[in-house]
Amino acid sequence: MENIFENRPERLCQHCKKCGKDCSFIKNFYEKPPENCGYEGWFFLEWEKYKQNIRKLKERLLVLEVQLKNCKESKKAAKIASDIQKTKDKIKTFNSIGPTDL
């Protein structure tokens, strides 16, 4: 998965490295930019996109679990169980850039 922090836009903050506030330390959503940093808006927007992705995956997981519970065919149940595991693995990949318990 691409890390959005490696490709963040340049020169959003006019104060970076001039006033001692350095935003280059931010590598994931566990860390926050300094107050009044020019990256605050970008960070907020990316944080909202991140949360939306996690929520969509969790919604998909819930739908798949209900389908598995109601499934009577063993072939179809195996496919659904496989999809559930893939979705859980996808959610785990997000742990490196932020929390997944939203």
Residue 82, in any domain of the structure: yes
CA torsion through residues 45, 51, 53, 55, sign: negative
Residue 13, in any domain of the structure: yes
Q: How many domains does the chain have?
A: 1
pLDDT digits (tens, 9 = 90+) for 38-93: 778 888 898 999 999 999 999 999 999 999 999 999 999 999 999 999 999 999 98
Residue 12, in any domain of the structure: yes
Residue 102, in any domain of the structure: no
- Residue 51: predicted pLDDT: 92
Residue 54, in any domain of the structure: yes
Q: And the tokens for 33?
A: 């930019």
To which residue do tokens 């605050």 refer? 40
Q: Which amino acid belongs to residue 79?
A: K
Contacts of 38 (CB under 8 A, 6+ apart): 12, 13, 14, 15, 16
The range of the structural domain enclosing residue 81 comes to 4-96
What pTM was estimated for this model as a whole? 0.77
Say how many C-beta atoms besides its own lie within 10 A of residue 14's C-beta.
9
Residue 101, in any domain of the structure: no
Give backbone dihedrals phi and psi of 27, rounded to 5 degrees, phi first: -120, -5
- Residue 16: predicted pLDDT: 63
